Structure 1
Amino acid sequence: LVEENDKNECKVACFIKGPATALENLKCRIVNNASSLVVEDSEELVSNVISIECSDYKKTITFPINIGIPFTSCFRGNYREIVVKVTDVNFQSKYLTPISLERYQGNHKEAFVEVKIYQLGVFSVLSCLKKETFTVPKVGLTQKLNVDSRISFCYPPETFSSPAPMEIKIQPVETSLVSILKARHDMYHAVVSTSALVYVQHPSAQPFNSSVTITLPCPPNPDQKRQGDETEHARAITATVKRVATTYHTRSVSASVRKNGENVQDTLKLLGHRNQEEEWKVFDDVIIQNGRNGLVSFELNEHLESFVVIRLSFLLENTYLLLFAQALEEALGSTMANVILYRKRENPYKIIVLLSASKELPCELQNLHEEGYFGPPEPTQQFPLREGEQIHFSFRGNIFASENGKDFGKAYRLIFHSQRKHRMELQIKEVDEFGNHSSPHYKGTVVFYKITRDMITKKWEQPLPYDEYQHQSPLCKLALTLPKHEKLTNRPRSTKPTSSDSSEALWDNLLSWLAEELAEDNTSLLTLCLPVRRSVLQLVKLKCPDNLTHQIYELLCYWKKTLPRSADKQQLLSRYLRKSGRSDLSEELHFKWQNKVFT
């Protein structure tokens, strides 16, 4: 099924395989504006959001049918998997396991996920944390996880009174994330590393009859490892010294080595919560054993829905540990992002606005430059966004925007998905052509607001509110300017200014010659000592970003327009050229003016 957009461009929404009679009555739409409603924490959208419904409700659809949905995903190791989520009109969801992940569907070279469906609804392809399911029998079980064989759960015999199903997900924690949190807050300096964040579902809710032993990796302190290496190196030096020095001296060195090698033992803490309603808790009574190769193990005599082990270089108050766990969970569920607003180089009235993950910002800017889009303004400061959160923005001041060139003054929306790019091309124009009369350009501001998933109404049709953001503070703002275009004034014939000579045309030729001469020596606009405002220099650079000759010409023309009619332009321009260190051009200008040589 093919979706057609406003630009008369077609793109494949999905492929459907089934009885011909069933396919005749299906209607498919891409509903990406509702994408915030189909994702939850730890889920990442990797496809369009597709609504498939029956076009004739009197007809009966014969199930099952197969659908293939194109998607683009960056797989993140063993910990994530691709699933299809189907959501009904009441926002009840089910997860479907793919039949296949194909690179080709017919003649289309794309990644497709194929699933068998038994109901219609809204379909989306998601990258989720991989779920491991197993059942603990009465005789006990030692289960090593497929996502990471270093993580294991050991259930002794009679742990449960009857077989108990378990569902486990592992959220890895990158060491760089811990470093970022420590850099932001000095109070987390004691944190060395953390284990993965473990989520456990225990549907039967049976109490534990005996303790369960859990083993998982928690990276060791690199400083201690370095100290241990230094100790071994010092011992080797000591052994060498023994062969050439006195016994007394050797003992002194050995004693010194042992003193330096005495490391303070790391502290290991278990944090978790029993259910989603509870806050994080520190389990001080749980003893954690420090094993080899960075493995730690501990025993639990109760069910925890989620937990993490934190390695500390020195003791930290529980209050700070709880704050760290909350900050870690928040950071794992969010991504630092920036808003980019660039304008087309050839047409400053055309702009593009997009959301980009901060780590991909340099690549995004490079791609925009290749498409002909440049600043100013510069991208916004980075800010955290969760999957499915929205950025609403509107234009204030003397500039407004439109998607279609007709409807100006609306609010606009960007939806953040870490593995998808959401961009919007807009046309901008001035609200009042006589506004900003003291400035060479029109001025406006783009105001951005952050809309969390909790603030979004659960409706499949997502209208954009207009001017309803006064109750919340803006996330950020970007200043925007638009060069003024020269107005043509039609005067009656009797009032049209006439010139007794062709001095204007001669001056135009003279300034063109002067611009070429200055550009040949790569003369900077700032080195020209013309009395113009800095905003004029910025406007000229924006108007002709890649052509220095045109920039200098535009600047000279602007300067000439500001002069009264009675001013001696040649004498003034010669003086500024001398001040700029170009006495040669000043003399040549005087010669050309005196002899009327302008070609």
Structure 2
Amino acid sequence: FLVEESNKNQYEVACFIEAPAAALEYLKCKIVNDISSLVVEDSEELVSNIISIECSDYEKTIHFPISIAIPFTSCFRGNYREIMVKVTDVNIQSNYLAPVSLERHQGSHKKTFAEVKIYQLGVFSVLSCLKKEAFTVPEAGLSQKLSVDPRINFCYHPETFSSPAPMQLKIQPIEPSLLSTLKARHDMFHSVISTSALVYVQHPSAQPFNNPVTITLPCPPNPDKKRQGDGTEHTRAISATVRRVAAAYHPRALSASVRKNGENLRDTLKLLGHRNKVEGWKVFDDVIIQYVRNGLVSFQLNEHLERFVVIRLSFLLDSTYLLLFAQALEEALCSTMANVILYQKRENPYQIVVLLSASKDLTCELQNLHEEGYCGPPEPTQQFPLREGEQVHFRFRGNICASENGKDFGKVYRLIFHSQRKSRLELQIKEVDEFGNHSSPHYKGTAVFYKLTREMITKEWEQPMPSGEYQQHSLLCKLALTLPKHEKVINRPRSTKRIFSDSSEALWDNLLYWLAEELAEDNTSLPALCLPVRRSVLQLVRLKCPDNLAHQIFELFCCWQRTLPRSADKEQLLSRYLRKSGRSDLSEELHFRWQNKVFA
């Protein structure tokens, strides 16, 4: 088997290869995750590393087939998805292989593997895809129930096609939560009660339909039987906001209107279909949809549609709004809500981690980062939609810059989103100008994030980072971060060096630390100490010691005493502030310990 070095002292299994010994000698394997945007499409989810397998000697002949096993981790989603291995050639043309096995244990490695036999070298990836149902319709007709959902049935009557016609179907279920989210964002969609699954159909032979096809599929019934008054209540709200939302999808939607409550006699079923890219979505008002039983509906089609969906309405909507719903639904199905997390190391704020996480995993990711010793601020960004394989680029501005290796600062960095894989970068940051932000107790900078869709990414194996300015419309978000200023060490000539006759300053520091621990035991807040310091100083000490109150109080004492003149009586001033904050007991104890040099 071949391994690929992922870090300096760590090795990661890229894949296992079974081939003749003579062939293995010339095979070269590496992980090329930077090109993952090129190998995924909508409705596909990457669940493995991207593996490139090449022959190091082009004059050698590799005898195929050979067997490869790629480790992967996947969250299976019901019966609608399956694991496939995607093979991509040098021209970025792909085909799919069904694994001969999904469970293979090699030595001490207990991961799940997708094992396939290959007949060419190239780039390999393991994907979670919508399960494809393939069958052939004979001239005598066919009634086909789908294995992913036996409630879905396609009935082809005799002589529907003049010759046997192959068909390929995919079913994309639509979760009620996604529908609720769409209705919450767009008030115009309130009348949508439920939908069927989105059905994808491939008809390679493109034969015309001689007879209509009868399709039966589930479309959940209205759970609320008391919808009589809903139309009047919501039509007003819809008419107030519908023009603003519609303009974002279709400029001509402004002339449409919402039907009134008088038509809300019962739930209405509508078929929305997509013929091709040129014509787009269409509402088929002439198709009669019948109720069958237990939420099943049935209708007849006499033409080929690339994809279609049945929607259930509580009151009628104009066709313009139904088309807007189809576009919004399709976009939501291809997207996942995500967040960017930028945390600093608790013990070393010069080390940061930048993470691109699906919103549903945000709580778990934050907990893991806290266990690793990372914390905010800044807080995670607001959630935003990302499609599989889209990229988030970011750079640092202001008085803070970053580097992956501690040498090359000021670069642009890239995170590629995959809903089932972590996209993470660990960076080192530092100040650009040591004397910058002179009016602030810390250095300030901003991480600026930009979104690149798959259409904006060049279709080339080499994926260089862009050097020019990003378009303003691709700006995603900004996160502010700070670095504490370090105390400057001044190398004075020997004649000017300060010489202490005793160790009173070190003893005073010990006394301050004892006092900080005493105050921390009583959960004394920083403002309650009544020290004359700026609010920015309080924020700085919280940033430096976010999880240790005693360290925060000690840092506050140190910041305060640095503002005092050398001739000031620190003990007398600190005792006064302790009495002012209601801690006369500690004031007396402080005076006693300082006079008697008691610090234990």
Contact 2:227/2:314 (8 A) holds in 1: no
Map 1:453-532 → 2, pairs under 5 A: 453-498=454-499, 503-532=504-533
Q: How far does residue 474 in structure 1 lie from its aligned partner after superposition? A: 1.7
Who is 2:165 aligned against?
164
Provide the rounded CA distance (Å) in 1 between the counterparts of 2:457 and 2:9: 30
- The farther-off stretch of 536-545 and 435-444 is 536-545
> 1:55-76 deviations in whole A, cap 9, x for unaligned?
0011111111111111111111
Contact 2:451/2:474 (8 A) holds in 1: no
Map 1:165-564 → 2, pairs under 5 A: 165-224=166-225, 264-498=265-499, 503-564=504-565
Q: How far does residue 499 in structure 1 lie from its aligned partner after superposition? A: 5.3
State the superposition RMSD in angstroms.
1.9
Question: Is 1:43–2:47 an aligned residue pair?
Answer: no
Provide the rounded CA distance (Å) in 2 between the counterparts of 1:498 and 1:18: 75
Provide the rounded CA distance (Å) in 2 between the counterparts of 1:516 and 1:409: 41
Percent identity for Structure 1 against Structure 2: 82
Who is 2:75 aligned against?
74
Q: TM-score, normalised by structure 2?
A: 0.91
Paired amino acid for 2:392:
I
Larger Rg: 1
Contact 1:410/1:466 (8 A) holds in 2: no
Contact 2:86/2:96 (8 A) holds in 1: yes
Q: Which runs of 5+ in 2 are unaligned?
A: 229-263
Q: How far does residue 595 in structure 1 lie from its aligned partner after superposition? A: 5.3
Paired amino acid for 1:207:
P
**Secondary structure in 2 aligned to 1:165?**
strand
Provide the rounded CA distance (Å) in 1 between the counterparts of 2:75 and 2:584: 62
Contact 1:85/1:93 (8 A) holds in 2: yes
Provide the rounded CA distance (Å) in 1 between the counterparts of 2:471 and 2:283: 41
**Secondary structure in 2 aligned to 1:586?**
helix
Provide the rounded CA distance (Å) in 1 between the counterparts of 2:5 and 2:587: 62
> 1:150-175 deviations in whole A, cap 9, x for unaligned?
00011111111111111100000001
- The farther-off stretch of 144-153 and 587-596 is 587-596
Contact 2:30/2:52 (8 A) holds in 1: yes
Paired amino acid for 1:55:
S
- The farther-off stretch of 584-593 and 30-39 is 584-593
**Secondary structure in 2 aligned to 1:14?**
strand
The verdict on how the C-alpha distance between 1:207 and 1:536 changes in structure 2, with shifts beyond 3 A counting, is: same
Q: How far does residue 586 in structure 1 lie from its aligned partner after superposition? A: 2.6
Question: Is 1:17–2:15 an aligned residue pair?
Answer: no
Contact 2:271/2:310 (8 A) holds in 1: yes
Provide the rounded CA distance (Å) in 1 between the counterparts of 2:310 and 2:378: 44
Contact 1:160/1:206 (8 A) holds in 2: yes
Who is 1:113 aligned against?
114
Who is 1:55 aligned against?
56
Contact 1:105/1:112 (8 A) holds in 2: no
Provide the rounded CA distance (Å) in 2 between the counterparts of 1:54 and 1:473: 40
The verdict on how the C-alpha distance between 1:25 and 1:506 changes in structure 2, with shifts beyond 3 A counting, is: closer
Corresponding pairs, count:
565
Provide the rounded CA distance (Å) in 2 between the counterparts of 1:201 and 1:400: 51
Provide the rounded CA distance (Å) in 1 between the counterparts of 2:285 and 2:132: 29
Contact 1:69/1:113 (8 A) holds in 2: yes
Contact 1:273/1:306 (8 A) holds in 2: yes
Provide the rounded CA distance (Å) in 1 between the counterparts of 2:3 and 2:152: 45
Provide the rounded CA distance (Å) in 2 between the counterparts of 1:591 and 1:55: 79
Q: How far does residue 560 in structure 1 lie from its aligned partner after superposition? A: 0.7
Provide the rounded CA distance (Å) in 2 between the counterparts of 1:196 and 1:206: 25
Q: How far does residue 510 in structure 1 lie from its aligned partner after superposition? A: 3.1
Provide the rounded CA distance (Å) in 1 between the counterparts of 2:209 and 2:474: 49
Provide the rounded CA distance (Å) in 2 between the counterparts of 1:483 and 1:70: 43
Provide the rounded CA distance (Å) in 2 between the counterparts of 1:87 and 1:448: 30
Paired amino acid for 1:189:
H
Contact 2:452/2:474 (8 A) holds in 1: no
Paired amino acid for 2:339:
N
Paired amino acid for 1:28:
C
**Secondary structure in 2 aligned to 1:293?**
coil
Paired amino acid for 1:32:
N
Q: How far does residue 503 in structure 1 lie from its aligned partner after superposition? A: 4.6
- The farther-off stretch of 215-224 and 493-502 is 493-502
- The farther-off stretch of 582-591 and 40-49 is 582-591
Who is 1:5 aligned against?
6
Provide the rounded CA distance (Å) in 2 between the counterparts of 1:333 and 1:322: 17
Who is 2:232 aligned against?
none
Who is 1:131 aligned against?
132
- The farther-off stretch of 528-537 and 211-220 is 528-537
Provide the rounded CA distance (Å) in 1 between the counterparts of 2:488 and 2:468: 33
Q: How far does residue 6 in structure 1 lie from its aligned partner after superposition? A: 4.0
Paired amino acid for 1:26:
L
Who is 2:235 aligned against?
none
The verdict on how the C-alpha distance between 1:572 and 1:217 changes in structure 2, with shifts beyond 3 A counting, is: same
Contact 1:84/1:125 (8 A) holds in 2: yes
The verdict on how the C-alpha distance between 1:464 and 1:60 changes in structure 2, with shifts beyond 3 A counting, is: same
Who is 1:240 aligned against?
none
Q: How far does residue 502 in structure 1 lie from its aligned partner after superposition? A: 5.1
Paired amino acid for 1:188:
F
> 1:431-456 deviations in whole A, cap 9, x for unaligned?
11111122221111101110111111
Q: How far does residue 371 in structure 1 lie from its aligned partner after superposition? A: 1.2
Provide the rounded CA distance (Å) in 1 between the counterparts of 2:214 and 2:389: 37
Q: How far does residue 555 in structure 1 lie from its aligned partner after superposition? A: 0.5
The verdict on how the C-alpha distance between 1:206 and 1:490 changes in structure 2, with shifts beyond 3 A counting, is: same
Q: How far does residue 127 in structure 1 lie from its aligned partner after superposition? A: 0.7
